[in-house]
Amino acid sequence: MKWIKFRIKTVTEAEDIIVSALYDIGLEGAQIEDKLPLTALEKEQMFVDIAPEGPQDDGIAYLSFFVEERDGEAMENGCPVLILNGEETTAEAVLESVKRELEDVRCFMDIGEGTVSVEETEDIDWINNWKQYFHQFTIGDVLIIPSWEEAGPEDKDKMILHIDPGTAFGTGMHDTTQLCIKALRKFITPETELLDVGTGSGILAILSLMFGAKKAVGTDLDPCAVDAVRENMEANGIDPKDFTMMIGNIITEKEIQDKVGYERYDIVVANILAQVLVELTSVIVHQLKKGGIYITSGIIDDKEETVISAVRAAGLEVLEVNHQGEWVSIIARKNHQAGV
């Protein structure tokens, strides 16, 4: 299958209007490229390994739309046949429709250049294309492997984690995740009850259970995490009664805090952004048992002191500060006076 790509150069202020206008003629699923900084809400929702640091906003945006090309067929004039809204058309016809819509929008707002380029692209598997970048790897004696690969005989003594993160969540390859995994391996016992804040694909909670933890609870802001966690639990033979998944913001939602429970967890792990960790720490101290361990990562090295200050302000004792690449993991303990 091939696609014709229509790429529009415009300005960021016109993105939504143009997408809406072209939706009306059947062009859907716009790919948007711009340099807009993240909004406060987007940053709040990024319970992920790292926050992307983009270049300075220049006000320019590129909108790309893809229309399927029917293989082996052409119009009488020799133009390839495209399928749009279930009907046959040509790239030239679509291009003219796009230009008309752009000129209509230009009548009431600035759209910048408003130029359109057209090119043919090869078959694109939007769901599975990312798999070419994810291959099995080891962290200590743990082999992390996707479903489309197999372990070799040399891996027979390794603990094997099957993980298919999909397009939305991490795989464990990032330094921040590996720092957490190493810390979990050190502190987990058969009596451990663990809370994983920003669980994503569930990798940290699932590995904790494989390391011998008794129970795990995961929270995340993204509802897509529910399916990702369920699939990865099934792939690794995790009993559903051992891993509870909750969707919500534990920092701001009292209902989620209550459901998660207070002074219940031997370990809380949070592999998220430094600015989120600062807000989280004063809350999560109430979920930790006395003597509980708080494992944090996702901290770029120049934010190390900021997070350490937040940890100490919450009454926690810093036990370890570990580095891998340019990333930092801070491990702390809740002593009897913390969270009072």
Q: Confirm if 215 and 194 have CB atoms less than 8 A apart.
A: yes
Tokens of 125: 């598997």
Which residues share a beta bridge with 333? 293, 317
Contact 197, 246 (CB under 8 A): no
Task: Give the residue among 190, 188, 192 at the shortest CA–CA distance from 142.
Answer: 188
Q: Is 281 annotated as a binding residue?
A: no
Question: Does 271 appear as a known binding residue?
Answer: yes
Q: What count of other Cβ atoms lies within 10 Å of the Cβ of residue 275?
A: 18
Tokens linked to 56: 């300075």
Q: Is 138 annotated as a binding residue?
A: no
Token pair 């992920």 is found at: 48
Burial class (CB in 10 A: 0-12, 13-18, 19+), 181: buried
Of residues 246, 229, 251, the one with CA closest to residue 238: 229
Q: Which two tokens stand for residue 322?
A: 């570990």
What is the rounded CA–CA span in Å between residue 31 and residue 294? 39
Across the strands, what pairs with 215? 193
* Residue 325 known to bind ligand: no
CA 78/CA 73 separation, integer angstroms: 9
Return the number of other C-beta atoms located less than 10 Å from residue 158's C-beta. 15
Name the binding residues for S-adenosyl-L-methionine.
177, 198, 220, 271
Name the binding residues.
177, 198, 220, 271
